[in-house]
Structure 1
């Protein structure tokens, strides 16, 4: 372990110096990244169509290349999956991350190249260890194993062409170097089992005797695994099973609703490090011990642009919009994230919104999804509003929430106004659901002025309606969609009733 710690310390010291470079010189690092991407893009069909040979600067880039959605690049991806190459990136593409960011029936297949796998996704894994060790110098991270929850992985063959699809976590696990096996729990074979309930059983039995020192994965699924392990072992806390466990690397959903439950199951307050990694790239990471702000990762082969929320969202390659460069953003404003990457994405709308909290270095918080909102009546309710209001209602009533989603109830001829329906699976229900509803309503009015205006005198919107669901409802709904485990998660807000009506049908 002494030799291993020495090698790790050397790498981390070197890497911290590189990180400090983009912390201090963010615009120069982004300019260099942009030029390298454009140079590579000139050797692709996309680059030829959009005049990359004549593009010299970011202004030209924005002028010549429309903001892209998945629908606009899907024809390229379909051809890539059939074996054509050099369409979006000048090296071969054989991996595709099957997006599980929503519970939509429609899957997205995001191309993963050798460059994006090593220079972005792998780098993110190394940097999370670097930041943790820098912030917790008394760590024992290299004395045990990391338990990482991954998705599944499939091979697709078309004639002589072979491609691989799966959650980005599964693609990473499948292609990690052999040395990673020494620090991993469970085995790759178990980690990549496609059926969640079978994987859950084997995860629980195969990891309990390992010296697990760190956890990584989406909180909702990690909590289910930890509860399963306690049930199988009869122990009162995970601390009894893994006494050296010290850190949880988490991401994918807001952690606050899960924090109390996770700590109760663990038997202690675990160290936390938040990650912002998606199929499209590794974008941010918590770099400070006492703050949950995320550092924007600027040397990952990603060129960033930011679309102000009030400009509207580009959903097709014909939608004009005014994006901002990094040096044009301000603190406290919502932006949709637009990226160009070594994975062959060009001015791609990721679908997330962020808000900057600091400009040197650039730090931010995730505020929601561009398509996960309710604006049926002009209320512009975002996920951040919903999470905060529910937290206030829970704190004042002692309630605890397992999962939730919300959708509009549209105006009808009887009262002429609509409302929001909240489907909530409580871990601890409030003693008075009406009082909880009133607190939620008042909190939303305080947080969101548009919501408050639409609630005035019940003219446009009535008070919210809460439907308390029985335990396991959301799990059973995900199971019915074959979306258990991996990166799958519940869509918090919807502007229509598709998901809400499907879930209510299970009651």
Structure 2
């Protein structure tokens, strides 16, 4: 950890040089892949040449190449053999995305990120005893590659990482790997609560939503007032995937009522590990990790909808400006638009905060519902109930003490559904079918309850847009939001009108 701390200080002091080296290392490694030959990587000398020659790509753009790798072809996007794939939702043309994970991305990105989290935590808490106990992590599940019967595995990135951990890692983490990777969540929850409730847990790495479900189960079984009754030596909750702010008060009051417990944010995804909170006094701000085999570009949001958006590099970014994040990685993702937007909160060192998505979305609980998912669910429900819709918007109902989360929808019809309850059921059902992450959260109401639906009078959205000064063809009703701003504004107006 001391050696790694020195390297972190090195890229903080020399960020542009480190990123420039990562850029050239990536191109040199991939020059003889099919992708590298297509874009003549062997003749690219500058970042400008790379940007002019290689287009910014969505998952759909890269999928023909990824599909070949899924079917067993090698040396397509990256020279190393690819046997592992991270599965996540969010694509517009399929229920799930499959993203290659190479040996280099596992070791130089995902594992290095995990080690750096603890390195930076120890720097902030030099008297820590976190290594005297165990770290709890909730893994996903793994399955055989459905595209290639001869080998390979697909699953949540957490599951891929856990399956490849060295044997000694099991001595410092809980639950055992066979429990952590169970695919039946209800059975996994029972076993995890039983095992972890009897361990000396000093840290948790996880998504707030699933962590809440587990902690509630342990407290119920043990009859505890809070988790410090069970884990008196608990020190730190390392969280990511969704915004933590809505959950912070719940964790501080219900689960860990002590100012000695630390909350530390990370920014990692199926595509890679990007940033870690290095200054615990500033929640939401994270150090951009520059030596993980990822070359970063940033597209100003005002450029995003242009046919050929201009991307800038690290030396060109401005503070407090929204950028869409573009990555080229040692897993073979080239100028890949991850879908997140970020802002820089400092330069030298470069710290960021996640500001949103390039599209409207709901990801309050790790469900990653995008507009395409919502539109398909609404269309399906309308078609099967004879309804015709005018407008809709949806957002989260956050978990509170003693209550579970859910989505809330406000819908306006020009032709009402023949059966309102059936419409609500079908919308939820179809959303589960098209989005695997939402389906997992909805499973037996463990993390998310069925959506709360409102059928509002005709003209509601027109009136609401007018009050906001947003009438006109260039203004659209925001379909999805990760906050309750739009929901509460509309519902308050409806109540006043009644």
TM over 0.5: yes
**Which deviates more, 401-410 or 14-23?**
401-410
Partner of 2:204: 215
Match of 1:146 among 135, 144, 169: 135
**Which deviates more, 191-200 or 158-167?**
158-167
1:74 aligns with 2:67: no
Change (3 A) 1:75 1:200: same
Match of 1:483 among 431, 434, 440: 440
3-state DSSP of counterpart to 1:351: strand
Q: Equivalents in 1 of 2:225, 2:430: separation in Å? A: 27
Change (3 A) 1:223 1:81: same
Match of 1:327 among 315, 318, 327: 315
- 1:177-326 superposed matches below 5 A: 177-263=166-252, 264-269=254-259, 270-292=261-283, 293-313=285-305, 319-326=307-314
3-state DSSP of counterpart to 2:319: coil
Give ranges in structure 2 of 5+ residues lacking alignment: 379-389, 403-426, 452-476, 483-498
Give the root-mean-square deviation of aligned CA atoms.
Answer: 3.6
TM-score (norm 2): 0.75
Give the drift of 1:372. Answer: 2.4
Partner of 1:450: none
Q: Equivalents in 1 of 2:360, 2:327: separation in Å? A: 19
Q: Which deviations, in whole Å up to 9, do the C-alpha atoms of 1:456-499 show, x marking residues without a partner? A: xxxxxxxxxxxxxxxxx99998699642399x9989xx954899
Give the drift of 1:298. Answer: 0.3
- 1:83-122 superposed matches below 5 A: 83-100=72-89, 106-122=95-111
Change (3 A) 1:183 1:485: farther
Change (3 A) 1:24 1:211: same
Give the drift of 1:266. Answer: 2.6
Give the drift of 1:403. Answer: 11
Give the drift of 1:105. Answer: 6.2
Change (3 A) 1:403 1:34: closer
- Relative contact order, higher structure (CA 8 A, sep 6+): 1
Q: Which deviations, in whole Å up to 9, do the C-alpha atoms of 1:314-364 show, x marking residues without a partner? A: 8xxxx4221001111100100000000000011000110000010110001
3-state DSSP of counterpart to 1:139: coil
Change (3 A) 1:102 1:133: farther
3-state DSSP of counterpart to 2:151: strand
Q: Equivalents in 2 of 1:344, 1:104: separation in Å? A: 21
Partner of 2:336: 348
Residues 404 and 423 in structure 1, CA contact (< 8 A), matched pair in contact too: no
Partner of 2:327: 339
Partner of 1:7: none
Q: Equivalents in 2 of 1:175, 1:235: separation in Å? A: 35
Q: Equivalents in 1 of 2:394, 2:292: separation in Å? A: 41
Residues 82 and 161 in structure 1, CA contact (< 8 A), matched pair in contact too: no
3-state DSSP of counterpart to 2:400: strand
Q: Equivalents in 2 of 1:113, 1:372: separation in Å? A: 31
Residues 236 and 262 in structure 2, CA contact (< 8 A), matched pair in contact too: yes
Q: Equivalents in 1 of 2:204, 2:98: separation in Å? A: 27
Q: Equivalents in 2 of 1:60, 1:345: separation in Å? A: 18
Residues 360 and 480 in structure 2, CA contact (< 8 A), matched pair in contact too: no
Residues 299 and 311 in structure 2, CA contact (< 8 A), matched pair in contact too: yes
Partner of 2:386: none
Q: Equivalents in 1 of 2:10, 2:291: separation in Å? A: 9
1:367 aligns with 2:362: no
Give the drift of 1:41. Answer: 1.6
Give the drift of 1:34. Answer: 0.5
Give the drift of 1:156. Answer: 2.3
Residues 101 and 489 in structure 1, CA contact (< 8 A), matched pair in contact too: no
3-state DSSP of counterpart to 2:440: coil
Residues 406 and 420 in structure 1, CA contact (< 8 A), matched pair in contact too: no
1:56 aligns with 2:19: no
Q: Which deviations, in whole Å up to 9, do the C-alpha atoms of 1:277-301 show, x marking residues without a partner? A: 0111100000012112100000000
